[in-house]
Amino acid sequence: MIREAHVNGIKLVYREEGDPASPPLLLIHGRTANHNDWNGITQHFAARYRVLALDLRGHGASDYPGSYAVTEMAEDVVALLDHLGIERATLIGHSLGGVVAYQVAMNHPERVERLVLEDAPPPLPFKNRPPIVEDDSTGFDWRMMHQIERQLVDPDPAWMEGLGKITAPTLVLSGGKQSHVGTEAVAARIPGAQLVTIEAGHLIHVNARGPFLEAVDAFLNG
C-alpha cells in the first residue's frame, strides 16, 4: 500500500506492508533510489514486521524541497514515526540511507530498537572523489546529489563523535573488497556493533539477497 504523510514541512511518500500490529521496521534506501529499491526485501520482513519503506526527500514521489541536509532527512524519518504513532522502530539503511539511519540513532536513541547499516559510508573525509556529472537520469533531484556529495566528502566532525553515542544494538554489513565505502570504520566506532562482511560490493541486498537476509534475520532474532 502506497501512502503519503505531510511531515516536517514536506510530503513524504512511503510503502507499508505487513500487519499494522507487528513491530515496526523502516527501510531507508540509498542515494538516487526510492522505496522500490527494497522490492523482494519488504515481503520477506512483512511476515513478522510492519514494514515501512519511504522515499527520502528529493527522491521518488516525495517532495523535492531543494534543501537536503542529511540531518533534515533524519528528522523527516522521526517526523514520519511521530505521524504514525510509532515510538520505537528497527531501522535498516543502505548507503545514504544508512547515514540517515545512524543520524536518527545518535540524535534520537530512544526511537531506535535495532539498527542495520548496509555499506553506509563513515563520516570521514573522502579523498579524490570524481565530480558529479549530471546526465538524463530522473526520479531524484540533482540538487540533492550535489548537496549530499558535499556532506559525504567533507562531513561534520560531530558525526564521528555521535557514532560513539549510539545505544541501539547495531549490525554493520560491509560489501567487502568490491565496495568503495569502507563502512568498517562505522562498525569500529559504534559501541558493541557487529560487523558482517558479504563479498558482494556496495549493493549487498541486490547482489547477494540471500546472504543479506540471512545476516539481518540472525541479528534481528538474536
Edge-to-edge strands, sheet with 2-7 = 2-7, 10-17, 50-54, 24-28, 89-94, 112-118, 170-174, 194-197
Give residue 201's pLDDT.
97
Give residue 152's pLDDT.
95
Average pLDDT, the chain: 97
Give residue 194's pLDDT.
98
- pLDDT confidence band for 219 (50 / 70 / 90): very high
Query: Rounded to an integer, what distance in angstroms lies between the CA atom of residue 135 and that of residue 1?
Result: 32
What's the grid cell of residue 130? 570524481
Give residue 212's pLDDT.
98
Give residue 124's pLDDT.
96
DSSP for 8-46, written as a single string = TTEEEEEEEES-TTSPEEEEE--TT--GGGGTTHHHHHH
Give residue 127's pLDDT.
82
CB atoms within 10 A of CB 211: 16
- pLDDT confidence band for 129 (50 / 70 / 90): confident
pLDDT of 166 above 90: yes
CA 132 from chain centre, in angstroms, equals 21
pLDDT of 116 above 90: yes
Give residue 99's pLDDT.
98
Tens of pLDDT along 168-215?
999 999 999 999 999 999 999 999 999 999 999 999 999 999 999 999
Give residue 46's pLDDT.
98
pLDDT of 128 above 90: no
Query: Rounded to an integer, what distance in angstroms lies between the CA atom of residue 7 and that of residue 75?
Result: 9
Query: What is the extent of the structural domain holding 53?
Result: 2-221
Average pLDDT over residues 136-141: 97
Helix (H) or strand (E) holding 80: helix 70-83
The CA-to-CA distance between both ends of the chain, in Å, stands at: 30
- SS3 call for 186: helix
Looking up residue 184, the CATH number of its domain turns out to be 3.40.50.1820
Task: Sort residue 93 into left (φ over 0), alpha (ψ -120 to 50) or beta.
Answer: beta
Burial of 190 (0-12, 13-18, 19+ CB in 10 A): buried
Tens of pLDDT along 93-103?
999 999 999 99
Average pLDDT over residues 26-51: 98
Q: Name residue, grid cell 549530471.
A: 134
Average pLDDT over residues 137-144: 97
The total domain count for the chain is 1
